[in-house]
């Protein structure tokens, strides 16, 4: 028996539940409600209205990724340092929230951010004490949506970074120090370049779900900052225009595969650079 | 290989689960809104008839329509609203109701026995009805409100909640402009769209929500909210500072009906269920539990006098007269969809 | 490193503070849920004293209990099926010739990189195309589908590390291919299989988007929470999340202990 035939169930499953559905989406995207070929769905998505939403979604996802990187890199770096003793337990603490239902976590922010919620009311009391006029409202804003995204995806950034950083051989760092590198130099010339594969996979793991998110904007943004994911959902479950929805899905997928390809090319180049 | 027993056990469990899904007893699948029936009423029905009820929820009429029209699933009773009943009739998705098997239909208020979305109630039996209006916090507004214009008043910065539903939010905006809320006229729709955008840009709007509005209002999170009358009653119960009005410019009146989709596998059980729900004591029980108005005159007699005399629950004929039902606008769905994207995504 | 440690008092303090702040950010909403699950008042605005009422209500609510069973059932079955299919798939792919190997790895990656919402709608289109009623079974199929790639990717590296000649040796010594596979290959790659299974189980528990599109007659916790919480955040949901959190915490601590023991060995 050739072991490669063990992949048969896998191949069959993937063909039926990955390839066929994507082809089905493509068929819907290139046809109209009557089933005749058309490109109209795509020209609709390229309409400035929808395109604007797509661009905003991408922009927001990029911003979210950047914030996650800025917050997550130091966290992963400190975690990876041997100095902090209960290291395993700390890493677990970063994984734990991912196991809580994503909707529950997001709903909990509602309770914190609404006017009577803990954060907003404390902030407002503080502002009144300082003599400021008026009332701050945190919920239902662009910032609230962005925060919700960062909150949900931060662990996806920290974990791959941590994995890479903790594998850096301490001898490499020591060697650099022995050769007279200062702290900043060790960080920028040794640790950072060695951690780039982790940065690449962290960025991928955050950007991907962030650009397609569709519930967070409704919950924390009060449905005022609809993103491309919301539009796709709206086409499938509200308007019922599956052809347009399919075209949107296809464009979204192409965009993602393209950016992942770029990201991967970048990562490969880095690796080759290291080998040299 | 230790995993083999585990695998076998899982497969066995799967087989059992699938067998569990297959109806051993007679059953019906009811497709209704979340939290829109008294659980006890379902139990009583099963107790009396022996028919098990599988209760499945939807959150918008449109979602229900798509899952019924395109889904492989079969539902025996569904609870769409007026305009959606109209669309389902047009698309030949419903079974006509056999009125001989609905002796309790005679309890229905006269004005809903022949609604304009389903003449002669051929396909639907009314379940609940109500109005759309403004729920407001009297402490924050400082007095009563009687006009839609309050929802554009710039003194309520970040204090107005609208519905995340194009028909409702756009509909009342059309009313505020003095237009028909079923209009297909582009210029009228564009004016309403611009007015909604202005509501956002002037900073009056806090959020678009649907069911969470009543919760937010009860928690003093906003001054004004666009709600269905039934939700207003629930919120006012919790927070006595709240009041409800149907603005003078007119508004939407709606009715949710019970229908039997053509794909039903048990239409006999379905019609028994519908008739059961129209019994006076059951209709009263549901109305009390949900807080929405019942179209059942006999049930009204069983309800608390305080509730029946509440104009939010039981509006006067003048209020009903200035309101109109939604009608299906599926032919211009594109336009409505676009408008909603322009309002909510820019 | 040594030099750093000597002067590191302030630095270490800063590091700890930083990690504590990030963790506070991650846990603030979860702690809020836990606190409110014991609040006698239904309102989130005030504290009316301690109660266990919501926990009692939780266990009387047939909808929530049902959804919990569905969630666990789907997660266990989907993880089991995906682990079997994915592990066999990985072994098979590992033995393939270069071109078909690249092809199936690509399919695997495309599945992983497809946004959840697109997987959700595309599977919905497929199921509706074949007139399958959207329910437990379709949700299970969908969960197996998005789990498989993760299992494949956790098993493959272990296969690459494995010594090929062990399998050949087993065959030479008279083992059947099946025996060689079970007795030689599987034990070698077991850590990969286990971590794949765990990952699959986790992903399945947490999923909302794909479930949302692939079921309508049967609800799991995510879809139930979605429709329930729209009616106002019910304290029973807080009680449920507290229990889930406690269960997950316990599970992770146990797993961590086992990993530690294994590492020591």
Segment A6-39, tens digit of pLDDT: 999 999 999 999 999 999 999 999 999 888 999 9
- Phi/psi for B310 (5° steps) reads -75, 120
The whole-chain average pLDDT of chain B stands at 90
* Spatial contact of B161 and B206, defined as CB atoms under 8 Å apart: yes
What's the CATH fold of domain B130-253+324-344?
D-Maltodextrin-Binding Protein; domain 2 (3.40.190)
Segment C182-206, tens digit of pLDDT: 888 888 899 889 989 988 998 898 8
Structure-model confidence comparison of residues C205 and A74, the more confident one = A74
pLDDT at A215: 85
pLDDT at C245: 87
Highest mean pLDDT pick, A171-180, B299-308, C83-92: C83-92
pLDDT at C3: 46
pLDDT at B2: 43
Strand partners, B186: none
Choose the mutation target among B17, B39, B234 for the interface with C, i.e. most C CBs under 10 Å: B17
Secondary element (H or E) of residue C137: helix C136-161
Tell me the pLDDT band of A81, cut-offs 50, 70 and 90: confident
Domains of chain B, residue spans = 24-129+255-314, 130-253+324-344
Those residues whose C-beta lies under 8 Å from the C-beta of residue C186, and which sit 6 or more positions away, are B1, C87, C193
pLDDT at A261: 79
- Is 1.10.3720.10 the CATH number for C62-230? yes
Q: How far apart are CA A204 and CA B346, in angstroms?
A: 27
Q: How far apart are CA C195 and CA C200, in angstroms?
A: 8
- Is 3.40.190.10 the CATH number for B24-129+255-314? yes
Per DSSP, the three-state class of B78 is strand
Structure-model confidence comparison of residues A82 and B44, the more confident one = B44
Those residues whose C-beta lies under 8 Å from the C-beta of residue A264, and which sit 6 or more positions away, are A200
* Spatial contact of C87 and C147, defined as CB atoms under 8 Å apart: no
* Spatial contact of B220 and B137, defined as CB atoms under 8 Å apart: yes
Closest-CA residue to C115 (of A50, A247, A252): A252
* Spatial contact of C51 and C39, defined as CB atoms under 8 Å apart: yes
Choose the mutation target among C140, C176, C230, C236 for the interface with B, i.e. most B CBs under 10 Å: C230
The region of weakest confidence among A145-149, C83-87, C130-134 is C130-134
Segment C46-57, tens digit of pLDDT: 788 899 999 998
Q: How far apart are CA B131 and CA B172, in angstroms?
A: 11
pLDDT greater than 50 at residue C229: yes
If phi > 0 it is left, if psi is from -120 to 50 it is alpha, else beta; for residue C50 that is: beta
Instruction: Name every chain C residue with its beta carbon within 8 A of the beta carbon of B215.
Output: 231-233
pLDDT greater than 90 at residue C257: no
Over range B164-171, report the average pLDDT.
93
Distance, in angstroms, between A158 CA and closest chain B CA? 31
pLDDT at A98: 78
Superfamily of domain A48-275: MetI-like (1.10.3720.10)
pLDDT at B132: 96
Q: Do B56 and C216 touch (CB under 8 A)?
A: yes
Instruction: Name every chain C residue with its beta carbon within 8 A of the beta carbon of B67.
Output: 134, 216
Over range B235-259, report the average pLDDT.
95
Neighbours of A141 (CB within 10 A): 19
* Spatial contact of A153 and C116, defined as CB atoms under 8 Å apart: no
pLDDT at B1: 40
Tell me the pLDDT band of B63, cut-offs 50, 70 and 90: confident
Over range A171-197, report the average pLDDT.
88
pLDDT greater than 60 at residue A85: no
Q: How far apart are CA B81 and CA B126, in angstroms?
A: 9
pLDDT greater than 70 at residue A132: yes
CB pairs under 8 A between A and B: 75
Closest-CA residue to B242 (of B270, B209, B219, B267): B219
Q: How far apart are CA B334 and CA B33, in angstroms?
A: 25
Token pair for residue C36?
A: 């409110």
Tell me the pLDDT band of C230, cut-offs 50, 70 and 90: low
Among chain A residues, CA nearest to C240:
A104
The whole-chain average pLDDT of chain A stands at 87
Distance, in angstroms, between A65 CA and closest chain B CA? 21
* Spatial contact of B127 and B79, defined as CB atoms under 8 Å apart: yes
ipTM over 0.85: yes
- Pairing between strand B242-245 and B160-163? unpaired
The answer to whether B24-129+255-314 and B130-253+324-344 have equal CATH topology is yes
Query: Please, which residues 127-166 of chain C have a Cβ atom closer than 8 Å to chain A?
Result: 129, 141-142, 144-145, 148, 152
Over range B19-48, report the average pLDDT.
83
Q: How far apart are CA C18 and CA A76, in angstroms?
A: 11
Over range B299-312, report the average pLDDT.
91
Choose the mutation target among C20, C44, C117, C124 for the interface with A, i.e. most A CBs under 10 Å: C117
Neighbors of chain B by Cβ distance (3+ pairs < 8 Å): A, C
Pinpoint the alpha helices (H) of C41-97.
Answer: 53-60, 62-95
Instruction: Name every chain B residue with its beta carbon within 8 A of the beta carbon of C73.
Output: 13, 17
Over range A207-214, report the average pLDDT.
89
Per DSSP, the three-state class of A225 is coil
Strand partners, B324: B252
The region of weakest confidence among A153-167, B22-36, B125-139, B210-224 is B22-36
* Spatial contact of B260 and B271, defined as CB atoms under 8 Å apart: yes
Model-level pTM? Answer: 0.88
- Phi/psi for C30 (5° steps) reads -65, -40
Tell me the pLDDT band of C264, cut-offs 50, 70 and 90: low
Among chain B residues, CA nearest to A224:
B344
Q: How far apart are CA C123 and CA C106, in angstroms?
A: 19
Segment C166-177, tens digit of pLDDT: 888 888 888 888
Geometric angle at alpha carbon C155, from C149 and C156, rounded to 5°: 90
Q: How far apart are CA C90 and CA A6, in angstroms?
A: 8
Geometric angle at alpha carbon C226, from A63 and C81, rounded to 5°: 90
Token pair for residue A163?
A: 């994995």
Segment C137-147, tens digit of pLDDT: 999 999 999 99
pLDDT at A276: 32
Over range C18-24, report the average pLDDT.
94
pLDDT at C22: 95
pLDDT greater than 50 at residue C90: yes
pLDDT greater than 90 at residue B122: yes
Q: How far apart are CA C164 and CA A43, in angstroms?
A: 53
The region of weakest confidence among A195-199, B260-264, B289-293, C38-42 is C38-42
Percent of chain A whose predicted confidence (pLDDT) is above 70: 93
pLDDT at C262: 55
Over range B78-106, report the average pLDDT.
96
């Amino acid at each position: 028996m050739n072991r490669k035939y063990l992949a048969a169930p896998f191949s069959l499953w993937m063909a039926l539940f990955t390839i066929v559905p994507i082809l089905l989406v493509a068929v819907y995207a290139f046809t109209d409600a009557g089933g005749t070929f058309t490109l109209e769905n795509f020209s609709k998505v390229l309409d400035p209205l929808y395109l604007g939403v797509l661009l905003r979604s991408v922009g927001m996802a990029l911003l979210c990724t950047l914030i996650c990187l800025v917050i997550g890199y130091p966290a992963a770096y400190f975690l990876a340092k041997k100095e902090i003793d209960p290291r395993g337990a700390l890493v677990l603490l970063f994984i734990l929230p991912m196991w809580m239902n994503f909707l529950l976590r997001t709903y909990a922010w509602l309770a914190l951010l609404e006017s009577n919620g803990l954060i907003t009311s404390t902030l407002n009391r503080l502002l009144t004490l300082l003599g400021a006029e008026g009332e701050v409202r945190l919920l239902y804003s662009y910032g609230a949506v962005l925060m919700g995204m960062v909150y949900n995806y931060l662990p996806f950034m920290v974990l791959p970074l941590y994995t890479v950083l903790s594998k850096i051989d301490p001898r490499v760092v020591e060697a650099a120090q022995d050769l007279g590198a200062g702290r900043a130099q060790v960080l920028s010339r040794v640790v950072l370049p060695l951690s780039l594969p982790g940065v690449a996979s962290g960025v991928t793991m955050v950007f991907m779900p962030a650009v397609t998110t569709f519930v967070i904007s409704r919950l924390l943004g009060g449905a005022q900052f609809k993103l491309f994911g919301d539009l796709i959902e709206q086409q499938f479950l509200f308007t019922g225009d599956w052809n347009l929805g399919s075209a949107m899905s296809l464009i979204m997928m192409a965009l993602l595969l393209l950016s992942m390809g770029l990201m991967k090319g970048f990562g490969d180049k880095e690796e080759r650079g290291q080998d040299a | 290989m230790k995993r083999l027993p585990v695998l076998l056990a899982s497969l066995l469990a799967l087989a059992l689960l699938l067998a569990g899904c297959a109806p051993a007893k007679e059953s019906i699948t009811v497709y209704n809104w979340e939290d829109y029936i008294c659980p006890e009423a379902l139990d009583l029905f099963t107790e009396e008839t022996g028919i098990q009820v599988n209760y499945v929820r939807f959150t918008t009429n449109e979602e229900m329509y798509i899952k019924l029209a395109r889904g492989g699933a079969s539902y025996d009773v569904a609870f769409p609203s007026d305009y959606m009943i109209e669309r389902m009739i047009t698309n030949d998705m419903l079974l006509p109701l056999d009125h001989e098997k609905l002796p309790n239909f005679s309890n229905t208020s006269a004005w809903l026995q022949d609604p304009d979305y389903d003449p002669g109630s051929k396909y639907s039996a009314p379940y609940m009805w109500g109005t759309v209006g403004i729920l407001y916090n009297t402490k924050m507004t400082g007095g009563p409100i009687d006009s839609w214009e309050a929802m554009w008043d710039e003194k309520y910065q970040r204090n107005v909640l609208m519905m995340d539903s194009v028909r409702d939010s756009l509909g009342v905006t059309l009313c505020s402009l003095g237009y028909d809320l079923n209009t297909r006229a582009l210029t009228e729709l564009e004016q309403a769209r611009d007015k909604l955008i202005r509501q956002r840009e002037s900073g009056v709007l806090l959020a678009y929500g649907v069911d969470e509005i009543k919760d937010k209002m009860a928690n003093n999170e906003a001054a004004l909210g666009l709600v269905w009358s039934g939700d207003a009653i629930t919120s006012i119960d919790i927070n006595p500072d709240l009041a409800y009005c149907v603005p003078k410019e007119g508004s939407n009146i709606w009715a949710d009906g019970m229908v039997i989709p053509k794909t039903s596998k048990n239409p006999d059980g379905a019609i028994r269920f519908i008739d059961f729900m129209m019994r006076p004591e059951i209709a009263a029980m549901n109305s009390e539990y949900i807080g929405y108005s019942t179209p059942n005159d006999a049930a009204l007699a069983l309800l608390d006098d305080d509730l029946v005399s509440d104009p939010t629950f039981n509006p006067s004929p003048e209020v009903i007269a200035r309101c109109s039902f939604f009608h299906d606008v599926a032919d211009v769905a594109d336009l409505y969809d676009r408008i909603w994207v322009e309002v909510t995504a820019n | 490193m040594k030099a750093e440690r000597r002067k590191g008092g302030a630095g270490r303090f800063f590091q700890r503070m930083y990690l504590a702040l990030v963790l506070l950010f991650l846990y603030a909403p979860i702690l809020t849920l836990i606190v409110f699950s014991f609040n006698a008042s239904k309102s989130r605005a005030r504290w009316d004293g301690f109660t266990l009422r919501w926990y009692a209500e939780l266990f009387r609510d047939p909808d929530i209990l049902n959804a919990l069973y569905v969630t666990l059932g789907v997660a266990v079955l989907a993880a089991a099926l995906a682990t079997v299919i994915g592990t066999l798939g990985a072994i098979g792919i590992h033995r393939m010739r270069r071109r078909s190997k690249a092809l199936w790895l690509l399919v695997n990656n495309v599945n992983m990189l497809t946004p959840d919402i697109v997987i959700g709608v595309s599977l919905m289109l497929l199921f509706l195309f074949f007139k399958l009623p959207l329910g437990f079974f379709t949700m299970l199929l969908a969960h197996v589908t998005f789990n498989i790639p993760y299992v494949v990717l956790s098993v493959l590296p272990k296969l690459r590390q494995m010594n090929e000649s062990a399998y050949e040796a087993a065959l030479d010594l008279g083992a059947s291919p099946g025996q060689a596979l079970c007795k030689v290959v599987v034990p070698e790659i077991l850590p990969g299989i286990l971590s794949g299974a765990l990952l699959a189980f986790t992903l399945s528990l947490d999923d909302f988007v794909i479930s949302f599109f692939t079921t309508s007659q049967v609800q799991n916790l995510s879809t139930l929470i979605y429709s329930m919480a729209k009616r106002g955040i019910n304290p029973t949901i807080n009680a449920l999340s507290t229990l889930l959190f406690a269960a997950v915490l316990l599970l992770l601590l146990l797993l961590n202990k086992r990993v530690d023991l294994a590492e020591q060995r």
